Amino acid sequence: MKLYSRITGTGSYLPPRRLTNADLVAELAAQGVETTDDWIVERTGIRARHFAAPNVSSSDLGLEAARNALQAAGVLPQEIDLIIVATSTPDMVFPSTACILQNKLGANGSTAFDVQAVCSGFVYALTLADAMIKSGAAKKALVIGAEVFSRILDFKDRTTCVLFGDGAGAVVLEASETPGILASDLHADGKYVGILCVPGHVSGGQVLGNPLLKMDGQAVFKLAVGLLDEAARVTLAKAGKTAADIDWLLPHQANIRIMQSTARKLKMPMDKVIVTVDQHGNTSAASIPLALDTAVRSGQVKPGELLLLEAVGGGFTWGAVLLTL
C-alpha cells in the first residue's frame, strides 16, 4: 500500500499584546523615529501585529498552537512520533526549540528537530514531514512555525520594525491511504545572504556583529515575486495541475504588494488569496500555518479544497507545497 500524508488538524496562537499601527507609531515617536499609519498601510498592507511578553519564547507560542492543532485532529500528544519546528528565533542556541516544546507538550520520545529556513521554514518543514511519513519513518507529525521576531528588530529602522510580529501556527500531519500533500518544490541560493539577514553571533559570551534584522527591501521584493511564481508553476506541474485548479493561494504573509504581484502572475483574483498580513504582520515561519488555521476556523477554507502554499525567506530560500485538505 502506498503511503501519503494529510493535514488532519490546524492550530495557531497569537500573544495577547496587539499593537495597531497607531500604537506602534506612538512608541516609535517616543524614540525619535517618525512614521505614520498611512505610510505603513500603503507600502505593506499591515494594520496590526502581536508582540510576545519578555518572558515568552517561541516554544511557548508553538506549544499553544500545537495543542490547538492536536485538539482539532483528535490526536493525543503521546501519539505524535515526529515534531518539526520551523523558527529563526529559537529559545536557545541548543537544544532545539522542538525538543523544548516536546517536553512541554508531553510527547517525549518522538523525533524532534528544528528547521531554519526563515520565512520559508514552514514549507521546508512540511515537505520534510511529508517525506518522512511517506517513507514510513513517522505516522503522526506535528509541524510548527513559531517566531518571536520582535526580539531581533531594530526599532530605529522604520523600514523593517513595522513589518514583523510574533505568533505560531501548527498542523498535524498523518499517514493516509489518500493523497493530501500532492507536490512540493524547495530551493535556496546563498549568494543572496546579504539582502535579508541578522549578521551577528555569540562568541565567548559576547555578541559579535549586529544581532538585529537587516533587509534590502527593494532587492527582496524583486527577487521574491519571480521566485514565487517559478516555484508555484513547478509544483503545479509536478502534480499535473494548473493555476486554474487552485481553490486558494496561501502565500507567506510578508507584504500585500508581493502577494498581489504573485497572484497576478498566476492570473488569480485576490478573492482567492488568503490574507492575514493586515492583522498579523510578517510572522516569518509562523505566517503560513497561522493564516491556514485562521482560514480553516473561519470557514473560508473547506475540506477537499486545493491549496497552494508558497514562501520566500532569508537565505535566500523559497518553495511551494500543493495540498488538499
Which active-site residues does the annotation give? 119, 252, 282
Q: What does the alpha-carbon distance between residue 194 and residue 216 come to, in Å, rounded to a whole number? A: 8
246 CB-contact burial (10 Å; exposed 0-12 / middle 13-18 / buried 19+): buried
Helix %, strand %, coil % of the chain (to 5): 40, 25, 30
Q: Coil, strand or helix: which one is 12?
A: strand
Which residue reads 493523497 in cell numbers? 179
Q: At what angle do helices 287-298 and 58-73 cross, to 10 degrees?
A: 40
Long-range pairs of 299-306 with CB within 8 A, sequence gap ≥ 24:
300/248, 300/274, 301/247, 301/248, 301/274, 301/325, 305/247, 305/248, 306/241, 306/245, 306/246, 306/247, 306/248
Q: What does the alpha-carbon distance between residue 296 and residue 299 come to, in Å, rounded to a whole number? A: 5
The C-alpha cell at 318 is 523559497
Q: What does the alpha-carbon distance between residue 238 and residue 192 come to, in Å, rounded to a whole number? A: 27
Kindly report the number of other CB atoms within 10 A of residue 151's CB atom.
Answer: 16
Which residue reads 506602534 in cell numbers? 24
Which residue reads 479544497 in cell numbers? 305
Q: What does the alpha-carbon distance between residue 235 and residue 238 come to, in Å, rounded to a whole number? A: 5
**Which DSSP letter does residue 271 get?**
G
Are 228 and 214 within 8 A, CB to CB?
no
- Residues 6+ positions from 205 with CB-CB distance below 8 Å: none
